[in-house]
Protein backbone atom coordinates (compact mmCIF):
# COMPACT_ATOMS: atom_id res chain seq x y z
CA UNK A 1 0.00 0.00 0.00
CA UNK A 2 1.27 3.45 -0.88
CA UNK A 3 -0.63 5.16 1.93
CA UNK A 4 0.03 5.17 5.66
CA UNK A 5 -2.29 2.97 7.70
CA UNK A 6 -3.01 5.94 9.98
CA UNK A 7 -4.35 7.95 7.03
CA UNK A 8 -6.63 5.10 6.00
CA UNK A 9 -7.91 4.73 9.56
CA UNK A 10 -8.57 8.47 9.78
CA UNK A 11 -10.51 8.32 6.53
CA UNK A 12 -12.51 5.35 7.79
CA UNK A 13 -13.63 7.45 10.78
CA UNK A 14 -14.56 10.37 8.49
CA UNK A 15 -16.36 8.08 6.03
CA UNK A 16 -18.42 6.37 8.73
CA UNK A 17 -19.47 9.73 10.15
CA UNK A 18 -20.40 10.89 6.64
CA UNK A 19 -22.32 7.67 5.85
CA UNK A 20 -24.70 7.97 8.80
CA UNK A 21 -25.87 11.46 7.88
CA UNK A 22 -29.25 11.86 6.25
CA UNK A 23 -30.99 14.76 4.59
CA UNK A 24 -33.13 17.19 6.54
CA UNK A 25 -36.57 15.73 7.16
CA UNK A 26 -38.05 18.62 9.14
CA UNK A 27 -36.16 21.86 8.49
CA UNK A 28 -38.81 23.93 10.30
CA UNK A 29 -38.91 21.87 13.48
CA UNK A 30 -39.45 24.17 16.42
CA UNK A 31 -38.56 21.61 19.04
CA UNK A 32 -35.26 20.90 20.70
CA UNK A 33 -33.10 17.78 20.36
CA UNK A 34 -34.06 16.44 23.79
CA UNK A 35 -37.75 16.43 22.88
CA UNK A 36 -36.93 14.63 19.63
CA UNK A 37 -34.74 12.06 21.44
CA UNK A 38 -31.76 13.41 19.42
CA UNK A 39 -33.04 11.97 16.12
CA UNK A 40 -32.04 15.21 14.41
CA UNK A 41 -28.37 14.74 15.32
CA UNK A 42 -27.89 12.50 12.28
CA UNK A 43 -29.44 15.02 9.90
CA UNK A 44 -27.21 17.19 7.78
CA UNK A 45 -27.10 20.81 8.76
CA UNK A 46 -25.52 23.95 7.38
CA UNK A 47 -22.90 23.83 10.13
CA UNK A 48 -21.87 20.21 9.47
CA UNK A 49 -18.34 20.14 8.04
CA UNK A 50 -17.99 16.35 7.77
CA UNK A 51 -18.27 16.17 3.99
CA UNK A 52 -15.99 19.17 3.50
CA UNK A 53 -13.35 17.77 5.86
CA UNK A 54 -13.41 14.37 4.21
CA UNK A 55 -13.10 15.94 0.76
CA UNK A 56 -10.13 18.02 1.94
CA UNK A 57 -8.38 14.93 3.30
CA UNK A 58 -8.87 12.98 0.05
CA UNK A 59 -7.90 15.97 -2.13
CA UNK A 60 -4.72 16.32 -0.07
CA UNK A 61 -3.53 12.83 -0.98
CA UNK A 62 -0.96 12.29 -3.68
CA UNK A 63 -1.80 10.14 -6.70
CA UNK A 64 -0.34 6.93 -5.25
CA UNK A 65 -2.17 7.38 -1.94
CA UNK A 66 -5.49 7.99 -3.71
CA UNK A 67 -4.92 4.94 -5.94
CA UNK A 68 -4.26 2.85 -2.83
CA UNK A 69 -7.59 3.95 -1.33
CA UNK A 70 -9.45 3.08 -4.51
CA UNK A 71 -7.66 -0.29 -4.70
CA UNK A 72 -8.65 -0.93 -1.06
CA UNK A 73 -12.28 -0.39 -2.05
CA UNK A 74 -11.89 -2.91 -4.89
CA UNK A 75 -10.55 -5.48 -2.41
CA UNK A 76 -13.06 -4.59 0.33
CA UNK A 77 -15.99 -4.81 -2.08
CA UNK A 78 -14.82 -8.19 -3.37
CA UNK A 79 -14.16 -6.96 -6.91
CA UNK A 80 -10.58 -8.19 -6.56
CA UNK A 81 -8.77 -10.45 -4.12
CA UNK A 82 -5.96 -9.29 -1.85
CA UNK A 83 -3.58 -11.45 -3.90
CA UNK A 84 -4.49 -9.26 -6.88
CA UNK A 85 -3.32 -6.08 -5.13
CA UNK A 86 -0.88 -5.04 -7.90
CA UNK A 87 -3.70 -5.34 -10.45
CA UNK A 88 -6.15 -3.45 -8.21
CA UNK A 89 -3.61 -0.68 -7.69
CA UNK A 90 -2.91 -0.46 -11.45
CA UNK A 91 -6.64 -0.40 -12.23
CA UNK A 92 -7.15 2.39 -9.69
CA UNK A 93 -4.43 4.44 -11.42
CA UNK A 94 -6.10 3.80 -14.79
CA UNK A 95 -9.49 4.92 -13.47
CA UNK A 96 -7.96 8.09 -12.04
CA UNK A 97 -6.13 8.81 -15.30
CA UNK A 98 -9.40 8.60 -17.23
CA UNK A 99 -10.43 11.80 -15.44
CA UNK A 100 -14.09 10.80 -15.27
CA UNK A 101 -14.29 11.62 -11.55
CA UNK A 102 -11.87 13.02 -9.03
CA UNK A 103 -10.79 10.52 -6.35
CA UNK A 104 -12.86 12.46 -3.78
CA UNK A 105 -15.99 12.40 -5.95
CA UNK A 106 -15.56 8.71 -6.71
CA UNK A 107 -14.85 7.62 -3.14
CA UNK A 108 -17.48 9.81 -1.50
CA UNK A 109 -20.11 8.44 -3.87
CA UNK A 110 -19.59 4.90 -2.58
CA UNK A 111 -22.09 3.80 0.09
CA UNK A 112 -20.50 2.34 3.22
CA UNK A 113 -17.05 3.56 2.17
CA UNK A 114 -15.68 3.24 5.71
CA UNK A 115 -16.73 -0.39 5.95
CA UNK A 116 -15.28 -1.20 2.52
CA UNK A 117 -11.94 0.39 3.39
CA UNK A 118 -11.92 -1.57 6.65
CA UNK A 119 -12.69 -4.81 4.77
CA UNK A 120 -9.94 -4.01 2.27
CA UNK A 121 -7.45 -3.57 5.09
CA UNK A 122 -8.58 -6.84 6.64
CA UNK A 123 -8.09 -8.58 3.30
CA UNK A 124 -4.51 -7.32 3.29
CA UNK A 125 -3.98 -8.50 6.88
CA UNK A 126 -4.15 -5.03 8.46
CA UNK A 127 -6.54 -3.26 10.79
CA UNK A 128 -7.03 0.03 12.56
CA UNK A 129 -7.13 -1.52 16.03
For the chain, what is the radius of gyration of the CA atoms? 17
The pTM of the full predicted model, rounded to 2 decimals, is 0.78
Q: How far apart are CA 61 and CA 72, in angstroms?
A: 15
pLDDT in tens, 61-76: 999 999 999 999 999 9
Reported confidence tier of residue 30, pLDDT bands at 50, 70, 90: low
- Read off the pLDDT band of 53 (50, 70, 90): confident
Instruction: Say which DSSP state 22 is in.
Output: B
Rounded mean pLDDT, 75-104 = 95
pLDDT of amino acid 19:
78
Amino acid sequence: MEIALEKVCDLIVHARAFDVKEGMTDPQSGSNETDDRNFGSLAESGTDRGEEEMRLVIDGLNTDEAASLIALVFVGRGDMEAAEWPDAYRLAHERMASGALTPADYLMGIPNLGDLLDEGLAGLGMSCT
